[in-house]
Amino acid sequence: MMRLVARRLIISVALVLFISLLTFVLQTLAPGDVARTILGCGGQTASCPEQQYQALRHELGLDQPLMVQYWQWLSQALTGDLGVSPVSGLDVSSAILSRLPVTASLVLLGTAATALVGVSVGVLSAVRGGRLGRVVDVLSLLGFALPNFWLALVFMALFSVTLGLLPATGYVPIDVSPRDWALSLILPVGTLMLAGMAGFAKQTRDSMLESLSQEYVRFLRANGASELSIVFRHALRNAAIPVVTMVGMLFVGLFSGALFIESVFALPGMGRLAVQATLGHDLPIVQGVVVVFTLIVVATNLVVDLVYGWLNPKVRVT
């Protein structure tokens, strides 16, 4: 297991460095110029005083070679300092940390709700079968077909505008009012949950059906083991191997889904910060958000690999 952890950590560090460098390079190739944005030139060379423009580029270090700029940024980032945005004047680390709880609440609750409901429905449909299994198949197709932003608009129109039961937009921190915090997240979390729940239930049901058809299940039943023990103690653990992988994929996928959900429900999270920074050509903010997202994805994959190794000892030697 220790070799597995060491191997995954080495791969993770290399991946984070590669993604940060790739993002840095792509930013330099993107249309626009930070110095012209700050001077309000709108990308038009003729409207910018050349001397002032070159002086600002020198002050920002934009006239240095690309790898020198990247090394300077990386040296600061390794100490936890992602710099200060020259466009907005925001401290990048502080801006991200202030919005991370919003996105974390949305994604964690969405993952937990999707996994809990999806696994419950999947196990129930595998044990009971029949009509419920066909319903899960239909719902899985609908879940894949319906986009998150469309569900968000439908929920907003129904529960906020028509019924007036839940707030349509906005976010209340949990330390201000736990009740209002929960109410502000019901619609966003519900949107994310319904989009992924059906597919999760189908994967769980298929894995459970495969586990329940194995020889050891018939052996346990012949020896008088209770059905609850067979389902939850034996079959579900073996069926959990692909489900755990799907949890990791769901968690990572919800971060991309949160980008649209935060925009629809006006949540002040990292996804909305990334959209605003991109529209404003605020490259340091974009770079910081991408690095943080990459770290979260890498950490999630590492945890999934460790849990997978615990559930399936065969992967520890691969």
Which pLDDT score is estimated for 272? 85
Whole-prediction pTM = 0.76
Q: Decide if pLDDT at 46 tops 50.
A: no
Give me the mean pLDDT over the 177-204 stretch: 84
Reduced to 3 states (helix: H, G, I; strand: E, B; else coil), residue 299 is helix
Which pLDDT score is estimated for 311? 62
Cβ atoms 294, 20 nearer than 8 A: yes
CA trace torsion 56, 57, 58, 61 (10° rounding): 120
How many Å apart are CA 184 and CA 102, to the nearest integer? Answer: 11
pLDDT top residue among 127 and 45: 127
pLDDT top residue among 108 and 52: 108
How many Å apart are CA 260 and CA 188, to the nearest integer? Answer: 10
Give me the mean pLDDT over the 197-217 stretch: 81
If you average pLDDT over every residue of the chain, what do you get?
80
Q: Which of 305, 283, 284, 292 is nearest to 258 (CA)?
A: 292
For every residue of 5-39, DSSP letters joined together read HHHHHHHHHHHHHHHHHHHHHHHHHSSS-HHHHHH
Cβ atoms 187, 160 nearer than 8 A: yes
Structure-token match 């879940």, residue found: 143
Which pLDDT score is estimated for 4? 67
Architecture per CATH, domain 94-315, reads as: Orthogonal Bundle (1.10)
253 secondary structure, DSSP code:
H
How many Å apart are CA 250 and CA 107, to the nearest integer? Answer: 9
How many Å apart are CA 144 and CA 165, to the nearest integer? Answer: 27
pLDDT top residue among 158 and 80: 158
- Which residues of the chain are in CATH 1.10.3720.10 domains? 94-315
Strand partners, 91: 84
Q: Mind listing the pLDDT tens digit for each residue in 62-117? A: 778 888 888 888 888 888 888 888 777 788 888 888 898 899 889 899 888 888 88
Q: Decide if pLDDT at 49 tops 60.
A: yes
Give me the mean pLDDT over the 125-142 stretch: 72
Cβ atoms 168, 183 nearer than 8 A: no
How many Å apart are CA 177 and CA 173, to the nearest integer? Answer: 7
Which pLDDT score is estimated for 57? 75
